[in-house]
Amino acid sequence: MKKYGFLFLLMLFICPLGAQETAQVSADTAAGMAETVPAASVDPAERNRMLYSLGFLLGDNLKRQLILDNEDDYKALSQGMRDSLLNKQSQTTLDDYKPQIIEKYRQDAQTISQRREAEQKKFLEDFSKEKGVKVLDNGVMIKLAKKGKGRTANTNSTVTVNYEGKLIDGTKFDSSYDRNEPFTAPLSGVIACWSKAFQQLRPASKATVVCPAETAYGSRPVGVIPPNSVLVFEVEVLDIDND
């Protein structure tokens, strides 16, 4: 019997404007953890590394939502965060600036979306011109690195593959290699890109498969994958079961 795997996609989601109930849950969870982990057992250096990592992830999330143009922007933002974390008095009347904050999020989201759309369009155009790329009728692109042998899959086939999935900026969102476990699934149960692409591949073949957003998750965010994302997979076909 074949073992079926799943694409495990994890996301750190940070709401930019509040979510007090979530914050309360987080505080309660932290309090519960504090009761179970003695303070003396926490290595200060390790705690600093953990908090640095948290800060880095917070910054990474913010830069996906906001456009910060220069060093002064970074200084002002970090000073506001520092004052808040240290329970200092705000240097501004916060309510006066809430409309501007909301408008900045709106404008930046629109600009970031437009930039991403242009970048992804260019990526698809450039990749389609590379030597050896085959463009399928739904826009999926395949570039073979190794041809493989045997029968190709059909819509009723089950495939076993190793793969690594990335966004066009190189961000890795999933990998069977990292889990040390191949992924097995029926082609009727995977994204349209995979279903179409694997009908072009043979056992032992290796390829780069590029999935336009509409053949992957479309406008739906999945884990660390933003809405309307082009996905790039490095795949290795281990087995095709046509029975």
Q: Write the DSSP string, 33-54.
A: HHHHS-GGGS-HHHHHHHHHHH
Same domain flag for 110 and 158: no
Chain-centroid distance of CA 63 in Å reads 14
For residue 112, being part of any structural domain is answered with yes
Cα separation, 222 vs 138, in Å, equals 21
pLDDT of residue 38: 54
Same domain flag for 108 and 68: yes
For residue 193, being part of any structural domain is answered with yes
Same domain flag for 115 and 137: no
Residue type, 123: F
Same domain flag for 109 and 178: no
pLDDT of residue 13: 30
Query: If the chain, 243 residues long, is cut into consecutive pieces of 10 residues, what is the mean pLDDT of each piece?
Result: 33 34 39 49 89 91 88 93 95 96 94 92 97 97 96 94 97 96 96 96 97 94 91 97 87
pLDDT of residue 23: 36
For residue 230, being part of any structural domain is answered with yes
Same domain flag for 105 and 190: no
Same domain flag for 181 and 236: yes
Considering 93, 121, 149, which residue would you say is the last residue of a domain? Answer: 121
For residue 47, being part of any structural domain is answered with yes
Q: CATH number of the domain that 180 lies in?
A: 3.10.50.40
Same domain flag for 69 and 91: yes
Considering 121, 146, 164, which residue would you say is the last residue of a domain? Answer: 121
Same domain flag for 237 and 146: yes
**What's phi and psi for 15, nearest 5 deg?**
-75, 125
Three-state secondary structure call for residue 6: coil
Same domain flag for 101 and 155: no
Considering 58, 88, 121, which residue would you say is the last residue of a domain? Answer: 121
pLDDT of residue 12: 30
For residue 115, being part of any structural domain is answered with yes
Same domain flag for 108 and 72: yes
Catalytic residues: 163, 173-174, 191, 217, 233
Q: Number of structural domains, the chain?
A: 2
For residue 14, being part of any structural domain is answered with no
For residue 15, being part of any structural domain is answered with no
pLDDT of residue 5: 35
For residue 10, being part of any structural domain is answered with no
Same domain flag for 47 and 148: no
Three-state secondary structure call for residue 67: coil
Q: Which domain holds residue 63?
A: 20-121
